[in-house]
Amino acid sequence: MSTTANPSGEHSHHLHHAPQTVTITDAREAASLEQFSRVKRYTLAMAFRMACFLGILVVDGWLRWVLLAVAVFLPYVAVLLANQADERSVPSTVEPGAPEPAAQIAASPYSETITGEVVDVEPDALRTAA
């Protein structure tokens, strides 16, 4: 925990947290796919609006007024739906911890020991010897 003084002279305490791990499933879709889905939502809403206008010509009574109201207010709703951002509601959680232990290479029952000396040679000495 660190303590810093702000302009008013008071000290504030900041907890330093480790950065949150992001998984690929939390990533947003590509911008081109997001734009395509927005255009598709808006087009479907406008097609429904056109159907409401055509319905006004066919029906009579209170239903005509309902279709007119839907046709008038639908563009506002369509814009809201089309501009709806792609927000992932539930981010994936990654459990912190150590990975599984790696498999160990077992020693062969037929082992052979090589005897000899280890000679340390400087890298420059190898260049001049060649």
Residues 6+ apart with CB under 8 A from 83: 38
Phi, psi of 38 (to 5 degrees): -65, -45
Using the predicted structure, report yes or no on whether residue 9 has a pLDDT greater than 60.
no
pTM of this structure: 0.45
Average pLDDT over residues 96-103: 70
Of 59 and 130, more confident:
59
User: At residue 16, what is the residue type?
Assistant: H
Using the predicted structure, report yes or no on whether residue 2 has a pLDDT greater than 50.
no
Measured at the CA of 40, the angle between CA 74 and CA 69, to 5 degrees, comes to 10
Of 25 and 11, more confident:
25
Burial of 23 (0-12, 13-18, 19+ CB in 10 A): exposed
Instruction: State both tokens at 36.
Output: 């395509």
Q: Are 119 and 80 in contact (CB under 8 A)?
A: no
CA distance 82 to 80: 6
